[in-house]
Chains A and B, each alone.
Chain A
Amino acid sequence: MTDIPNASSSVLKTWLTSDIPQTHLQASCGRAYGAWLAFAANRLALLGLIIVGVLVAVAVFAPLVATSSPIFPDLQHRLLPPGADYWFGTDELGRDIYSRIVYGARLTLYVVVLVAIIAAPVGLLVGTSAGYFGGWVDRVLMRLTDIFLAFPRLILALAFVAALGPGIENAVFAIAITSWPPYARIARAETLSIRRTDYIAAIRLQGASSGRIIWGHVVPLCTSSIIVRVTLDMAGIILTAAGLGFLGLGAQPPLPEWGAMISSGRKFLLDQWWLATIPGIAIFVVSLGFNLLGDGLRDVLDPKSGE
């Protein structure tokens, strides 16, 4: 009976490591499996993946993981230290800090994913177009990139808040707008070297249009570098969102955003250290997780380290 699960897992493994893939799906899965093995060989990268995985799981299953409401005050139990009933203690309004951290994970993930979804494709598109077409397209797009790169994030966020009012969506938008330029530069640099290769010459010689070449041939080769850079940037994005929250520009109360929790916990830092320190540790751990994951991904995905 114990043989059956082993048999099916080894059948899968044979299918994945086959030298003669029969379908495109098998080939792609086999390749992904090889990349996974390389990634998993790095212990720290696995740790990063686990941390990020826990973050995602906690965010998705927040109502099940939290022990009480993150936003309803309970003034009977204000400022209690960490203990059996309240694992991370309670804040100045009696709310369970543990539950606030758990629900705050949702906000953190929300910010990080939204920024990545907005900034990375924009950067990729701008960078590959600039690199592939060259000439005045390159010049115009790169000057545009320089302009956006020159904006200091926090000042831009302040400007948005002044114009549109505070809120987490505006914070996300402000961060995304200032995050895409580095991706554009990376994509452009990669495209410049890809452009001179024989495989691009070959596809041009088959009559492919520029759009097809950029989308089908250039972009797949740039995505590795971009993914690595985005993952490494996530720590910074979390900290920026936390900073905006700290300044009161991001998520507004009573949302349990970690940065805002640090800000409001500042007043109590000396006597009730847990109000500010616990969210701080949460930010630290998640940033570390993303950094380790990014490093691990780079070791696996970096085209320069060879296929």
Chain B
Amino acid sequence: MFSTPRAVNEMTAPLLSVRDLCVSFDTRKGLVEAVRGVSFDLGREKLGIVGESGSGKSQAGRALLRLTPPPGRVSAKVLNFDGIDLLSAPDRQLRDLRGGRISMVMQDPKYSLNPVMTVGRQITEAYRAHARASRAEAKTRALEMLDAVRIREPERVYRAYPHEVSGGMGQRIMIAMMLITGPDLLIADEPTSALDVTVQLQVLAILDDLVTQRGMGLIFISHDLNLVASFCDRILVMYGGRVMEEIAASELHQAQHPYTRGLLNCLPQIDARHAALPVLTRDPAWLL
């Protein structure tokens, strides 16, 4: 009722087209449906997917890249990236796409960077997996990328190991690694949740600049509604595997759906009132 997918621009085809995406897991305790019929279109813009834990937002992001771990099953009526049907594409083509034209940045660089390889080696490896380049060329490109993410001493960081850099720098390295191949679409799953608030915003500024410069599409998955509202152009609010509401970021405070309103109202504000926070009452009808 609240989520009618709209094409971003009637004239150009969307970069990513998703209709009725479903992800389910067969567990011992029964069938768990993590994502139940998510539909949206994405152009070269910033789309935020917001939800609490268990809403299915991360699983939806992974399903787009066909990275759902077994025993998960993905199905959709349409899952189309720039004319390529991701559901029926052969494994080889998917591997080319991943990291090449569609990249993903995850939450904690402690867990997504290989701890036994230097930063430089990881970035050049990512590059050479998708482009024919000599080692020297790859190194130059890697240093350029480290500079583009505003790392002050790219040579030193190039030779460093992941545990030798701070969280914010680790995440910038992750962004460098994922953007070096010049993808068209970036999926970022809670990319700044593990960082301090000022570092968070600085990293997002870098992401913002790069995405705008390169005309990329960005899917930003987060639990932080305010952050997504101030960073993205459009927002999808997810709950129980479904999209509750699709709304432009500028219109968030006129949101219609009671879940979105509930989420907005239950955040503590920095004003002098110390009143009890309105509590979100979950309507079981939302899960149907």
Contact = CB atoms under 8 A, between A and B. Distances in A.
A41 to B, nearest CB: 7
A113 B190 CA distance: 52
Contacts of B28: 37-38, 41
A38 B27 CA distance: 11
Contacts of A41: 28
Q: Is the interface of A mostly helix, strand, loop or mixed?
A: helix
Contacts, number: 3
B56 to A, nearest CB: 20
A41 B27 CA distance: 12
Interface string B17-31: 000000000001000
Contacts of A37: 28
Interface string A32-65: 0000011001000000000000000000000000
A38 B28 CA distance: 9
Nearest to A41: B28
A219 to B, nearest CB: 29
A37 B27 CA distance: 13
B30 to A, nearest CB: 13
A280 B28 CA distance: 39
A281 to B, nearest CB: 36
Interface string B175-208: 0000000000000000000000000000000000
B182 to A, nearest CB: 38
Interface in A11-48: 37-38, 41
A38 B29 CA distance: 11
A37 B28 CA distance: 9
A298 to B, nearest CB: 18
A70 B187 CA distance: 73
B32 to A, nearest CB: 15
Nearest to A38: B28
Interface in A70-128: none
A269 B216 CA distance: 77
Interface in B28-87: 28
A35 to B, nearest CB: 12
A41 B29 CA distance: 13
A76 B172 CA distance: 87
A41 B28 CA distance: 9
B29 to A, nearest CB: 10
Interface in A166-224: none
Interface of A: 37-38, 41
Give 3 closest A-B pairs by Cβ, nearest first. Answer: A41-B28, A37-B28, A38-B28
3 contacts: A37-B28, A38-B28, A41-B28
